[in-house]
Amino acid sequence: MLTTLSLQIQKQVETGISILKQGGIVAFPTDTVYGLGACANLQSAVERVYQVKERPRSMAFPLLLAHTSQMDEIAEEVPSAARLFARSFLPGALTMVLRRSELVSDMVTAGSTTVAVRVPAHPVPVALVEGLGVPIVGTSANLSGQPSALTADEVNAQFGDKIDLVIDGGRCLSGEESTIVDVTGEIPVVLREGAISKEELKRVCEVI
């Protein structure tokens, strides 16, 4: 995936991977808005994201994956509806809520039995996850209650030196956050309608 990036961005991504492995926090562009990431397997790193984002501990973090095949690792099961949505919309602006496996920590899920996952349609976060070798928490790069950041400058304006690196990939073109669908029950439920409309989802799964 790194080969699809410019040399300048590639160097930033390589630095970002090193920072993530050491428990640091990295902001990066995605296909929706700028994201704020940390290694999902390092509890101290996840805790730090809560702190710098000023996010309530009762709010879980979504996970960013590099490939849809990773859903089988972090989910107890992947329902048929989830696989249908994944084939049609991932990589892309769709977040799915699945029943988590034992590999996902309580800190990531805020004690919930479910976990939200997404595969971004953007080479930077995918390269970070591939280089790290495990999913990253992928919350939006803004202070809780503040507008989502669409540029590296907007990320810096909100966080300053509280985070370790901002990968400047230019302005995010979408600016619209992902659609969230809960696929843990018999009938999928749209929790947030974002970049992908409910009508688009219905074309793939009529029961939604």
pLDDT, tens only, 19-29 = 999 999 999 99
Residue 169 CB neighbour total at 10 angstroms: 22
E runs forming strands in 22-101:
26-28, 35-39, 63-64, 94-99
Is residue 2 scored above 70 in pLDDT?
no
| Residues 152 and 166 sit within 8 Å (Cβ to Cβ) | yes
What is the number of structural domains in the chain? Answer: 1
Domain that holds residue 130: 2-204
CB contact set of 161 (below 8 Å; sequence gap of 6+) = none
Instruction: Please report which confidence band the pLDDT of residue 75 belongs to, taking 50, 70 and 90 as the band edges.
Output: very high
Joined tokens for residue 151: 């540029």
Task: Determine the pLDDT at residue 159.
Answer: 97
CB contact set of 91 (below 8 Å; sequence gap of 6+) = 31, 119, 120, 121, 122, 126
Is residue 11 scored above 80 in pLDDT?
yes
Instruction: Please report which confidence band the pLDDT of residue 200 belongs to, taking 50, 70 and 90 as the band edges.
Output: very high
Task: Record the pTM.
Answer: 0.93
Range in 53-67, 113-127, 172-186 the model is least confident about: 172-186
Backbone dihedral region for residue 83 (phi beyond 0: left; psi -120 to 50: alpha; all else: beta): alpha
Task: Determine the pLDDT at residue 194.
Answer: 92
Mean pLDDT (the chain) is 94
Question: CA-based angle 100:135:80, to the nearest 5?
Answer: 45
Q: What is the CATH number of the domain that holds 83?
A: 3.90.870.10
Polymer length of the chain: 208
Instruction: Please report which confidence band the pLDDT of residue 33 belongs to, taking 50, 70 and 90 as the band edges.
Output: very high
